[in-house]
Amino acid sequence: MGFLVFVTVLWAFSFSLIGEFLAGRVDSYFAVLTRVFLAALVFLPLTRWRGVPAGLKKGILVSGMLQFGITYVCLYQAFSYLSVPEVLLFTIFTPLYVTLADDALNRRFSPAGLVAAVLATLGAGVIRYDGLSEDFITGFLLLQVANITFAAGQVGYKHVMARYPLPIPPWRTFGYFFFGALIVALPSFLIFGNADKLPATPTQWGILVWLGLAASGLGLFLWNRGACYVDAGTLAVMNNALVPAGLLVNLLIWNRDADILRLAVGGAIILASLWLNSWLRARWSGARGII
């Protein structure tokens, strides 16, 4: 749990740094590739190549492709269509996807998550009820893909590590996570990247280095390690802890003119969807237990 709390604080500034200094200024595919490359460099000399089961390697690779590669490509694209507070609020869907992914891996299903997701979508609509533009919808959908792959990646890593309880320190295998992310990030930049929008200032380069080494390298390792020590419900809740922390940073420092009332109402509806998700799951589990 301590790992998850530490990373939440570490990541609280990341959304604002991306939105205020990188989004629209630095090519998003290059930004993602830089973060992945720097994080991979950190773990490259630590990676154990022999004596690691193929299933473990593949599982961590896929987790990296999902949780870092696809997630961050979509996340950075979403910043082109949404404000930082909106991006943060719409990551509140991630806990629903965490529970659904955990259900899928455990071969069970609860409709509670789907019902709650509908309510959460209504909350998102409140935030932009007078501006449901094509750009907004595009950004919203991009972020949902990011939420789904981020959830699937962390739940997948948790399950694959439980399946291979080897006496190998986790930091000796986490390099495969970033190698998997490179499989997505490198082709994405080569195909879709814009070489004319590379970082142009020391500030932009400095932010990318910090995001790559600290937020990505250290942050993702500690987050995934923390996920291995908690149940899926706790992991889902901790995915939402970033929202108030990130919003607080953005609203107090960079975005004081945001429509706080609308954000609060929409956010409250989305929070209610999480409560509904938990309540419906509890009732569904209880009814099944009685049967």
Amino acid at 69: G
| d(C-alpha 33, C-alpha 279), whole Å | 40
Report the interhelical angle of 134-163 vs 54-64 (nearest 10°): 160
| d(C-alpha 235, C-alpha 213), whole Å | 23
Q: What is the dihedral of CA 70, 76, 78, 83, to 10 degrees?
A: 150
| d(C-alpha 204, C-alpha 66), whole Å | 26
pLDDT (0 to 100) of residue 285: 61
Residue with tokens 């473990």: 56
pLDDT (0 to 100) of residue 251: 73
Q: What is the dihedral of CA 63, 274, 8, 222, to 10 degrees?
A: -30
CA distances from 217 to 146, 241, 254, 265, 278 (A): 19, 20, 26, 35, 32
Residue with tokens 């990130």: 246
pLDDT tens digit at each of 291 positions of the chain:
678 888 988 888 887 888 888 988 999 999 999 999 999 999 999 999 988 999 999 999 999 999 999 999 999 899 888 887 778 778 877 877 887 888 788 777 666 665 666 676 666 666 655 555 678 889 889 999 999 999 999 999 999 999 988 788 999 999 999 999 999 999 999 999 998 999 999 999 999 999 999 999 999 999 999 998 877 767 777 777 676 667 777 777 776 566 677 767 776 776 777 677 677 767 766 555 434
Burial of 59 (0-12, 13-18, 19+ CB in 10 A): buried
pLDDT (0 to 100) of residue 290: 39
Residue with tokens 């950190």: 42
pTM of the model: 0.81
pLDDT (0 to 100) of residue 274: 66
pLDDT (0 to 100) of residue 250: 72
Q: Tokens for 272? A: 């209610």
| d(C-alpha 4, C-alpha 10), whole Å | 10
